[in-house]
Chains A and B, each alone.
Chain A
Amino acid sequence: MRIDRLPAMMLAALLPCFVAAQQDTQKEIERYRQLLQDGNPSELFEARGAEHWKAKRGPKNTSLEQCDLGLGAGVVKGAYVRLPRYFADSDKVEDLESRLVTCMVALQGLTPEEAKRRPYSGPGQPSMMADLVAWIASESRGMKIAPPQSHPKERLAYQTGEKIFFYRAGTHDFACATCHGEDNKRIRLQDLPNLTNAGDAQRAFGSWPAYRVSQGEVRSMQWRLYDCFRQQRFPEMQFTSDASVALTMFLAKRAEGGTFDAPAIKR
């Protein structure tokens, strides 16, 4: 048996020690992310998502291949960067997840409850929704974020999202803007993007969904907002609720023009 350069590199969730100044730390974190990006396990989720898209399911035993994500039935490429958007058939502004629910109900004959049954994955419990989101988002990699604002309901969603972003409430009198409205804020070592500033918003919105190394799962924008609400001690954000779509629209619009580079990999 001939062995050449045996175990070269096996990446576990190892963080190097940070002793240098804040700026060096930031550079090191960037370097660490780039190292990880090469072997982003999100690919495993994306591969499953592509299969789910084609799989026949539900009482009508149909696939999602005829689902219209905004660019025509079955068009997946570039769909994510043009969401949320207004859909005439449901007369609502929908983000990717709520659109997938609409398609599962209309095409596959599932009930909305069935379609939303497991929005996020957990250890040993993959989520079809999370896999689909990972794959569909990956089909927009490298494209410009461009949510539409031509329909009045799309503009209304943006305005509602903006209100929610700055709305202070809960036991801690928090708003999204408390953490994400100023430059150079952080929670422990995590730098917080200032989402009122285009550059930060583009990097933030353009990197979700993401594989969370600490959780070993791909997390979507719906999950990100759900968890921000939890951290603010707000009432639980309902999956695909109008509020979540409005906030997503606000963030997408803030990030307009940025390059979409997800599913990314994060700590």
Chain B
Amino acid sequence: MADPMRIRANMTGDKVEVKVLMAHEMETGLRKDAKGNLVPPHFIRNVTVTHGGKTVLSAQWGTSISKNPFMHFRFKGGKPGEKVTISWIDNKGDKRTDEATIAGGS
């Protein structure tokens, strides 16, 4: 199973600022291994962020996203102590869901 994400969620003014690091190879399918064989594509296809039962971000990704992706965004309507849930699913069907609690922040 994939390694856990690292999620930081902090209040900045009236918005929640979320920073996520995901551990993923993000193989494009164009790279060759040491023997010259193509490495099959393996990348995150969908990322979904929910808060209080509502989707606050939904993204479709492809092979142009780097290895070990970093995602940074803000959304309105969150409060300290509430949870943000992030999930991704890749082209092989592997998935991962992690949760973070919104911190007070500045």
Q: Which residues of B contact A71 (CB under 8 A)?
A: none
A44 touches B19 (CB 8 A): no
- Find A12's partner among B3, B21, B65, B72 (CB 8 Å cutoff): B65
The reply to whether the CB of B91 lies closer than 8 angstroms to some CB of chain A is no
Q: Is the Cβ of A38 less than 8 Å from the Cβ of B21?
A: no
A123 at the interface (CB under 8 A from B): yes
Chain A nearest CB: distance from B19 CB in Å? 6
Q: Does A6 contact B (CB under 8 A)?
A: yes
Bound form: Cα–Cα A44–B62 in Å: 21
Q: Which residues of A contact B73 (CB under 8 A)?
A: 5-9
Tell whether, in the assembled complex, residue A123 and residue B25 are in contact, meaning their CB atoms are under 8 Å apart. Answer: yes
Chain B, residue nearest A6 (CB): B57
A-contacting residues, B1-43, CB 8 Å:
3-4, 6, 15, 19, 21, 23, 25, 27, 31, 39
Q: In this complex, what residue of B is CB-closest to A38? A: B19
A91 beta carbon closer than 8 Å to chain B: no
A6 to B56, CA, bound (A): 9
Which residues of B lie under 8 Å from residue A13 when comparing CB positions?
66
CB distance from B28 to the nearest CB of A (A): 11
Kindly supply a per-residue 1/0 record for chain B positions 47-74, scoring 1 wherever the CB is within 8 Å of any chain A CB and 0 otherwise.
0000000111111000011111111111
- Closest Cβ of chain A: how far from B88's Cβ, in Å? 13
CB–CB A2/B66 < 8 A: no
Chain A's nearest CB lies how many Å from the CB of B61? 9
How far does the Cβ of A88 sit from chain B's closest Cβ, in whole Å?
37
Nearest CB in chain B: distance from A134 CB, A: 13
Q: Please state if A9 and B72 are interface contacts (CB–CB under 8 Å).
A: yes
Given contacts A44-B23, A47-B3, A123-B39, contact A11 B56 (CB under 8 A): no
Within 8 A of B (CB), among A54-86: none
Mark each residue of chain A from 1 to 19: 1 if its CB lies under 8 Å from any CB of chain B, else 0. 1111111111111000000
Report the contact-size class of chain B (Cβ under 8 Å from the partner). Answer: 20 to 34
Assess whether B25 is in contact with A124, with CB atoms less than 8 Å apart: yes
| Alpha-carbon gap, A9 to B19, bound state (A) | 10
Q: Which of A9, A11, A38, A44 has the largest number of chain B CB atoms within 10 A?
A: A44
Assembly CA distance A216 to B27 (angstroms) = 11
A43 beta carbon closer than 8 Å to chain B: yes
Contacting residues, chain A, for B71 (C-beta < 8 A): 7, 9-10
Q: Which of A4, A10, A11 contacts B76 (CB 8 A)?
A: A4
Tell me the smallest distance from the CB of B57 to a CB of chain A, in Å.
7
Hey, which chain A residues are within 8 Å of B31, CB to CB? 123
Name the residue on B nearest A7 (C-beta): B59
CB distance from B34 to the nearest CB of A (A): 9
Given contacts A7-B59, A123-B27, are A47 and B70 in contact (CB under 8 A)? no
A8 to B16, CA, bound (A): 13
Closest 8 CB pairs of A and B: A39-B70, A41-B68, A216-B67, A12-B66, A44-B23, A8-B73, A9-B72, A43-B6
10 contacts between A and B (CB under 8 A): A1-B55, A9-B73, A12-B64, A13-B66, A38-B70, A39-B19, A39-B70, A41-B23, A44-B6, A124-B25
**Other A-B pairs beyond A12-B65, A12-B66, A43-B21, 7, CB < 8 Å:** A4-B74, A7-B59, A8-B73, A13-B66, A39-B72, A44-B6, A47-B3
